Structure 1
Amino acid sequence: MPRQNVTAEALLGIEGLEPASPWALAHSIEAGLPVAALEQFTEIMAPDDALFKYRLVPKATLQRRKKSTGRLTTDEGDRLVRLARVFSFAIEIYGSPDRAREFLRRPHTMLGGKPPLDVALTTSPGTDLVINLLGRLAYGGTV
């Protein structure tokens, strides 16, 4: 099966915001990703779940962001990018967004019976665990 390569930046709709460099994404997060990046990503990640975005940023907080700066805080942007990277890697491994979503929503024994999506959303080390699991799947490790 051919692998798809979809970057986190493409999933967030922030390609080309500034000159490409190793620091571009970090700088974009620090400067405050636009709320539109959250909206775009959640439409791709969870097209049938209009409330999914509130797992990343609480509803009242998101409404305030839209009315004030239109930007996410560094912590919110960091969480969003972490999840976009996980989803991007899952698409690369599974070959399609649908199969990647299926993997991320299905409980996994190596994650204490929790779905990878829940583990990745909770903490940065949780995100690392999910990326490690995907790497094992990609490169023939035991899972």
Structure 2
Amino acid sequence: MSSNSDDIQASGFDTLPPMLNRTDYESWSQRIRLYYRGKENGLKILQSIDQGPFEFGTTRDALGTTPEGGVLLGQERPHTYEDLSDTEKKRYDADVRATNIVLQGLPKDIYKLINHNIEAKAIWDNVKMLLAGSELTKEYRES
């Protein structure tokens, strides 16, 4: 007989990311990185944490051609999502997913300290700064 958790997994239900335990940042860091890798575009999600968000950059629209066969370009403008290639859209979407996953893995009190950040790398770096060298983590390692 199958359990409810077996039924949920069989139906494709997405499990929650690992929850941060304040006394074991290193273990959480490794587990959540493995969790990311198991997701669609997992490597791009990890890029968001390690390298920061995708930069949209700028573009110039082609306005026409010159009599000599050159291209007339308009003023420089910021890229929009629609301007992006499929690969760039996947990277941008991975940034959003990375932020959501890391926030879901944080206890409420830590989330409240860093919820003003919207980039996965900034959130990750702040959590690391808060907990990686904390006294709780050091005491846990010594015991």
Of structures 1 and 2, the one with the larger relative CO (CA 8 A, separation 6+) is 2
Larger radius of gyration: 2
| Structure 1 or 2: more strand by fraction | 2
Q: TM-score, normalised by structure 1?
A: 0.31
Q: TM-score, normalised by structure 2?
A: 0.31
| Structure 1 or 2: more helix by fraction | 1
